[in-house]
């Protein structure tokens, strides 16, 4: 048998044994979006909200928050009808700003911005990168829950938030409230947000801060509170199938529409397995899920959930943008996970936590990484670098054949494997 693994913009062919010796985990199709009609219907018949056009009037100033290049959401598809409706309501192009939710990520090139929103929208609407290190941030919230956000999300008339809903290894799900926190938050407040994943009274990560969990998730709860402080008038969230197709558009109330999207993702992308495997071979599913290691790590996290302690994990992640963090590798100089955590608690860093999560898995599993990263950096992270795609595929195939049971996850950036009987949220 043969399974296709996405690797950046390429496809790799992996030879696998037949079931039941080797299982391939795939998303359940949700129903691909057919086109403009579905977007129009979502805007005109939203969830727990007035129709989109009824929310705006002449003279309004509007900010639309859109994810950056690391998170495809189909903005190039749904933004044209959004802009069209705003224009019909009397909101002119020069009263609209698109604010990219870069979080703490790098600034984007003009071509990247254009590819996100589409050529027509990019040529008409002012598009601005959020700068987490900038000084034009406004304090919002109450005394017990405050954050500094980009002034374009706070001081203009009306706010629309957009994004793609998928699993997030700490916040439960991406999309929704994360467009605001940490999407357009200051660096310090983004750091505070991520720090909420850590247990307060014992070592390790909160059991509620993991993929598929919203209720009681400290990060998600905080993000909801900050989002509510800026009171977005409308949400547009997509659910993306592997391969970049939009499976559905959920629009309307920023809370209930988002939760409905989360339910769709759980139904489509949670895969129950009988027991953990001896060998797992995973791909992020190609770009942008593997644009850098910080993003690819999410696939590492999810796919490790299908693996026995001490098992072998083969991960294909192109990482064309490198690690995705300048200070990431230095965390591994602290040695074992316990020492990294000790240092992290003294001086918390967002990417430092990703380093800790990486070190925990690399300590628990024999991990082979096919990537464009420097091999010394891969070794520093506790993983074994593959010499080439050919050798990676050959070794992974042999490991699957000799293992008692194996699992292949070609869409690892989308799939959440759950062992039967264990809670997924």
Beta carbons of 104 and 190 less than 8 angstroms apart: yes
Give the model's pLDDT for residue 242. Answer: 87
Give the model's confidence band at 335: pLDDT under 50 very low, under 70 low, under 90 confident, else very high. confident
Nearest to 112 by CA among 162, 83, 70: 70
266, 108 in Cβ contact below 8 A?
Answer: no
CB 275 within 8 A of CB 419: yes
Which pLDDT score is estimated for 327?
87
Neighbours of 326 (CB within 10 A): 10
What is residue 108's DSSP assignment? P
Least confident span in 21-35, 177-191, 345-359 = 21-35
Checking if the pLDDT of 198 tops 70, the result is: yes
| pLDDT value, residue 28 | 87
Residues 6+ positions from 131 with CB-CB distance below 8 Å: 102, 107, 150
Long-range contacts of 57-60 (CB under 8 A, 24+ apart): 57/89, 57/90, 57/91, 58/89, 58/90, 58/91, 59/90, 59/95, 60/89, 60/90, 60/91, 60/95, 60/157, 60/158
Q: Does the pLDDT of residue 397 top 80, yes or no?
A: yes
Going by the DSSP 8-state scheme, the letter that residue 156 receives in this structure is S
Decide: 322 and 296 in contact? Cβ < 8 Å: no
Condensed to tens digits (0 to 9), the pLDDT of residues 8-32 reads 999 999 999 999 999 999 998 766 6
Please report the pLDDT score of residue 414 as a whole number. Answer: 95
Question: How confident is the model over 98-111, as pLDDT tens digits?
Answer: 999 999 899 999 99
Contact 15, 294 (CB under 8 A): no
Mean pLDDT of 409-422: 94
Give the rounded distance of the alpha carbon of 341 from its chain centre.
23
Residues 6+ apart with CB under 8 A from 74: 33, 164, 238, 240, 246, 249
Please report where in the chains the tokens 């994943």 appear, as a residue.
197
Check if the beta carbon of residue 357 is closer than 8 Å to that of residue 297: yes
| 421: its two tokens | 């009987």
Tell me the pLDDT tens digit for each residue of 126-142: 999 999 999 889 999 98
Q: What is the CATH number of domain 2-27+269-419?
A: 3.90.226.30
CA distance 21 to 63: 52
Question: What is residue 420's DSSP assignment?
Answer: T
Mean pLDDT to the nearest integer, 321-335:
91
- Give 425's pLDDT tier (boundaries 50, 70, 90): low
- On the 0-12 / 13-18 / 19+ scale of CB atoms within 10 A, 17 is middle
Predicted confidence at residue 424, as pLDDT, reads 60
The boundaries of every CATH 3.40.50.11440 domain in the chain are: 36-267
Q: Predicted confidence band at 33 (pLDDT cuts at 50, 70, 90)? A: low
Q: Which CATH number does 36-267 carry?
A: 3.40.50.11440
CB 283 within 8 Å of CB 411: yes
- Residue 375 pLDDT > 60, yes or no? yes
Report the pLDDT value the prediction gives residue 422, as an integer from 0 to 100. Answer: 76
pTM of the full structure: 0.94
User: Can you give the pLDDT at residue 241?
Assistant: 87
Q: Is 80 exceeded by the pLDDT of residue 216?
A: yes
Measured CA distances, 391 to 14, 228, 300 (Å) = 11, 50, 20
Q: pLDDT-based confidence at 421, cuts 50/70/90?
A: confident
Neighbours of 50 (CB within 10 A): 12
Domain with CATH 3.90.226.30 in the chain: 2-27+269-419
pLDDT at 350 over 80: yes
Q: Tens of pLDDT along 237-271? A: 999 988 888 889 999 999 999 999 999 999 999 99
Between 57 and 34, residue with greater pLDDT? 57
Calculate the average pLDDT of the chain: 95
Residue 343 confidence (pLDDT): 93
Does residue 313 carry a pLDDT above 80? yes
Beta strands in 317-420 (DSSP E): 366-370, 384-385, 406-409, 416-419
pLDDT value for 55: 98
Instruction: Report the distance separating Cα 247 and Cα 164, nearest Å.
Output: 11
Helix (H, G, I), strand (E, B), or coil: what is residue 256?
Answer: helix
Q: Given this model, what pLDDT does residue 31 score?
A: 65
Percent of the chain with pLDDT over 70: 98
């Amino acid at each position: 048998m043969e399974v296709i693994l996405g690797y950046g913009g390429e496809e790799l062919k992996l030879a696998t044994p037949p079931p039941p010796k080797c299982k391939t985990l795939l998303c359940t199709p949700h129903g691909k979006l057919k086109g403009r009609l579905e977007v129009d219907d979502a805007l005109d018949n939203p969830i727990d909200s007035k129709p989109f056009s009824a929310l705006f009037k002449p003279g309004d100033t509007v900010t639309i928050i859109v994810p950056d290049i690391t998170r495809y959401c189909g903005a190039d598809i749904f933004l044209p009808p959004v802009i069209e409706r705003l224009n019909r309501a009397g909101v002119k192009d020069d009263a609209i700003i698109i604010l990219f939710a870069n979080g703490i990520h790098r600034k984007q090139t003009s071509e990247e911005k254009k590819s996100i929103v589409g050529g027509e929208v990019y040529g008409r609407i002012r598009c601005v990168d959020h700068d987490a290190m900038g000084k034009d941030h406004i304090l919002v919230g109450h005394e017990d829950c405050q954050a500094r956000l980009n002034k374009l999300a706070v001081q203009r008339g009306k706010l629309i938030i957009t994004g793609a809903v998928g699993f997030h290894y700490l916040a439960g799900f991406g999309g929704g409230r994360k467009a605001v926190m940490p999407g357009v938050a200051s660096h310090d407040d983004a750091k505070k947000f991520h720090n909420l994943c850590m247990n307060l009274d014992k070592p390790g990560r909160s059991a509620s801060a993991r993929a598929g969990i919203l209720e009681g998730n400290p990060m998600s709860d905080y993000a909801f509170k900050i989002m509510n402080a800026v009171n977005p008038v409308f949400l547009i969230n997509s659910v993306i199938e592997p391969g970049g197709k939009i499976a559905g558009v959920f629009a309307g109330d920023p809370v209930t529409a988002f939760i409905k999207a989360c339910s769709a993702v759980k139904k489509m992308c949670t895969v129950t397995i009988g027991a953990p495997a001896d060998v797992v071979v995973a791909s992020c599913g190609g770009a942008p899920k593997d644009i850098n290691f910080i993003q690819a790590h999410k696939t590492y996290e999810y796919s490790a959930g299908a693996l026995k302690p001490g098992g072998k994990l083969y991960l294909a992640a192109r990482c064309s943008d490198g690690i995705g963090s300048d200070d990431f590798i230095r965390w591994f100089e602290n040695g074992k996970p316990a020492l990294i955590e000790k240092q992290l608690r003294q001086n918390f860093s967002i990417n430092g936590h990703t380093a800790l999560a990486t070190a925990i898995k690399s300590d628990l599993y024999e991990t082979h990484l096919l990537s464009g990263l420097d091999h010394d950096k891969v070794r520093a992270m506790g993983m074994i670098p593959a010499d080439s795609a050919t050798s990676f595929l050959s070794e992974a195939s042999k490991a699957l054949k000799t293992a008692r049971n194996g699992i292949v996850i070609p869409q690892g950036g989308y799939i959440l494997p759950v062992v039967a009987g264990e809670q997924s949220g």
